[in-house]
A and B are shown apart, each in its own frame.
Chain A
Amino acid sequence: MAQTISGQQATQGPLLSGAQILLECLAREGVDCMFGYPGGVTIPLYDAMYSNPLKHILVRHEQNAAFAAQGYARATGKVGVCCATSGPGATNLVTGLVDAMMDSIPIVALTGQVSTSLIGSDAFQEADTFGITRSATKHNFMVQNVKDLAQVIHEAFYLAASGRPGPVLVDIPKDVFQGHTHYKPVDEIHLPGYKVFSEGHTGQIRRAAQMIWDAKRPYVVGGGGIVLANAAKEFTELVETIDAPTVTTLLGLGGISTGHPNFISMPGMHGSYAANMGLHGCDLIIALGIRFDDRVTGKLAAFAPHAKVIHIDIDPAEISKNRLADLPIVGDLKRVLPKLIREVKDLKATEHGKNYQARVDWWKQIRSWKEEHPLEPKTSTTEIKPQQLMVEIDKISGGEAIVAVDVGQHQMWAAQFINFHHPRLWLCSGGLGSMGFGLPSAMGAQMALPDKLVFAICGDGGFQMSLPELATLVNNGLNVKIIVMNNGYLGMVRQWQELFYNNRLSSVELCSFPDPAMLAGAYGFKGRTVESPLDLPAALKEAVEYNGPYLLNVKVTPNENVFPMVPAGGAHNEMVLGPPKPVSVA
């Protein structure tokens, strides 16, 4: 009898609980840490973790577990993992999931669920997590049987990381954690309906190269896809091969060094004059890993009116979704760009001379736009201008620090004035624009890269949305440098009210901010306020050098507005460069 069992074990693997199997699968996926918060139905999992090397970071709110997992993923390119209990734990994750969905960030969320026998009975802390997160994820699963668990976990990681990345949720009932089965490592993932297009069509790539040489005023636009595909090197090489002016979208920042001579800046609603005029004037857009978001294009009908479009993206559904692509290529930039570079180089000898003069003139035009209205920080010696704050942070970073931002005016100024010499330094909630993102995403990045200098630049509004995580920083030795750009307002909303609603300021005044020294002190680290531009460099230096997290509250000019601005629904050549007030646009 005993022999039979051990014989069975030899062929079927050891008898493990669902919780143990889950941890085994995470180890196989190379997961070294997970951000989470326990609860009734996940106790069996946490019990198994008790004697497992996996590092679990106890956050203070599940939303921040999802954001931290994102910070981890954005900074490293690896899949971030978060975990929450059933009901309120799962619903608290939702914002972080949708945010990851919008920006295509690979995370896996594990949620506990009530036992299968209770599902549908409105049991304590039961929520239809599977239904609720359907549209918040790239794909989601509910595991009904412990026998399926290992397979599903590996499918979830594969889906999160491959193709166009995104969040995947696995809902696991309590009895699945507790149930036992013979564990055998999964050797294959089979998702017959999941299509990943990597290579790009050879003929199309060749045609793209020809179009590139045919263009008189080519313009390269790189997006978050460059970063996601780890294709910064290839991207830069393409830019240099074509020698075209280049912009990156908000999520593409760092896809090419912002100090690169071909780099103009970010286009779009708060893009520079030159970047937007370039889009307006070019005759070819080489669009790489972008999705023609409305914040980039402005009024779609008036967007890049003279341009043909080469669009390369891994997601076929992005092609011609917003802007018709004259030449679409579906594929992974990492695979397609080297082929495109080769084709472009092959044609260089015969084609280079053709539009040479036109391209020289194009560069001249771009440079004169840059000189006409440069992106210049405001400065003052009596009060700290928000732009000046970003410039000072930039000086310390030298293009090398990780900068996580929240959402609002500070986010746009940071994008305008902080340099990034590499991808994966700029952590920004672009598509969803979720306030509260900055601090927890910085936390996740710092967890992944403990030796890196990590800033969390937050508004005085958004900082207070993730305030409880100060404890998580302290408990885990995460020395994030929190810089609060304190303008006393929900600044971005105030700006819109000022510009488009006759300055009727409604519920945007924050009125008070906690004393940073006392607040940080209460958690056991250091904080202070800085008000004078003369003290700012030293204050930043102190924050960076301090051995621990730091909260620097920077009081800036309260009524500053972000310019240039393409009003929502406006065209790029209707950009508002600064005060005096523009006409209201509906």
Chain B
Amino acid sequence: MIQIISLLVENKPGALMRITGLLTARNYNIESLTVARTLDPDLSRMSIAVDVDPKLRQQVVKQMNKLVNVLQASDLTDGPAVARELVLLRVRTAIENRTAVLKEAEIFGARVVDSSTEGFVLEATGDAEKLDTFVDLMRAYGEIEVTRSGVVAVTLENKKLRLSPPVPAPSSGVVYEGEEEAAAAAVDGVLR
């Protein structure tokens, strides 16, 4: 089944590679992946849809959370979340079908972003199923070409972001004093 994971990631070299590499190494199939900056330019938000055995869902998220550059990985599959995708669809259609195409587009809330005698380019957003239906429908009107963005998702819960505090670097001979206290503070009962 498709699992949707939302990741907050440090914008560090190789961060994307670590995430995709983890998924391939563990034989999880990536359905889609989107990534862009957040309000904080040092961080990116990533939405990943993975095809994974439901039994392994937790495992995927735990592995993601282990990555040093991942600040937070959450499973949005079942929780209260909104997931959206964008599709850009070019349809070549005969003149007599233009009105019908526009009518269908309207029903799906799609916008016309380009129009020519050949046909239209339409832009639609929605959940994946709705877009599937839209694409299928448009196929009936002529040759189509489709580019989909992959899913972007946001949780409706107010999930607290828990970050690890700094630890002192060793001065000669002293090895990580206070490390465990810092780590303990970070746990704070989140994880059993």
Which residues of A pack against B, CB within 8 Å? 27-30, 130-131, 134-135, 138-140, 142, 144, 154, 157-159, 161-163, 185-199, 201, 203-204, 315-317, 319-321, 328-330, 332, 335
Evaluate contact between B192 and A201: CB separation under 8 angstroms.
Answer: yes
| Nearest B-chain residue to A314, judged by Cβ | B183
Q: Given A134-B14, A188-B167, A315-B66, is A198 in contact with B191 using a C-beta cutoff of 8 Å?
A: no
The 8 Å CB contact of B191, one of A144, A188, A201, is A201
Could you say which of A28, A134, A192 contacts B17, with CB atoms under 8 Å apart?
A134
* Residues in A whose Cβ lies below 8 Å from that of B123: none
Chain B residues, Cβ within 8 Å of A144: 13
B172 close to A30 (CB less than 8 A)? yes
The reply to whether B17 and A199 contact each other, CB–CB distance below 8 Å, is: no
Determine how close the nearest CB of chain B comes to the CB of A308; give it in whole angstroms.
16
Q: Which 4 A-B pairs have the closest CB atoms?
A: A192-B163, A196-B183, A317-B62, A190-B166
Contacts of B63 in A (CB 8 A): 317
Residues of B within 8 A of A159 (CB): 68
Interface of B is mostly: mixed
Residue B109 is within 8 A (CB to CB) of chain A in the complex? no
Within 152-192 of B, Cβ neighbours of A (below 8 Å) are at: 162-173, 175-176, 179-180, 183-184, 186-187, 189, 191-192
Report if B25 contacts A (CB, 8 A). Answer: yes
Residues of A within 8 A of B17 (CB): 131, 134
List, in ascending order, chain B residues with CB within 8 A of A198's CB.
180, 183-184, 187
Residues B187 and A193 in contact, CB atoms below 8 Å apart: no
User: How far is B174's CA from A158's CA once the two chains are assembled, in angstroms?
Assistant: 12
B residues in contact (CB < 8 Å) with A:
9-10, 13-14, 17-18, 21-22, 25, 58-59, 62-63, 65-72, 162-173, 175-176, 179-180, 183-184, 186-187, 189, 191-192
Sample of 7 A–B contacts (CB below 8 Å): A30-B170, A195-B183, A199-B184, A204-B192, A317-B62, A320-B58, A330-B191
- B59:A158 contact, CB within 8 angstroms: no
Taking CB atoms, residues of chain A closer than 8 Å to B184 are 198-199
For B10, the chain A residues whose CB sits under 8 A away are: 192-193
CB neighbours (8 Å) of B13 from chain A are 130, 142, 144
Bound-state CA distance A134–B21 (Å) is: 8
| Bound Cα distance from A188 to B169, whole angstroms | 5
Contact, CB under 8 Å: B183 / A186: no
Residues on the B chain within 8 Å of A29, using CB: 170, 175
A317 and B59 contact, Cβ closer than 8 Å, known pairs A139-B68, A332-B180: yes
In the complex the two chains form, is B65's CB within 8 Å of A316's CB? yes
Residue of A nearest to B66 (CB): A317
> Do B168 and A188 have beta carbons less than 8 Å apart?
yes
Residues from chain B with a CB closer than 8 A to the CB of A192 are 10, 71, 163-164
CB-based contact A158/B176 at 8 Å: yes
Cα-based distance from A162 to B175 in the complex (angstroms) = 11
Let me know if A330 and B65 touch, CB within 8 A.
no
**B164 and A195 contact, CB distance less than 8 A:** yes
CA distance A195 to B183 in the complex (A): 7
Supposing A158-B176, A204-B192 touch, asked if A199 and B170 sit within 8 A by C-beta, the answer is no
Residues of chain A contacted by B67 (CB below 8 angstroms): 193
A198 CB, min distance to chain B CBs, angstroms? 4
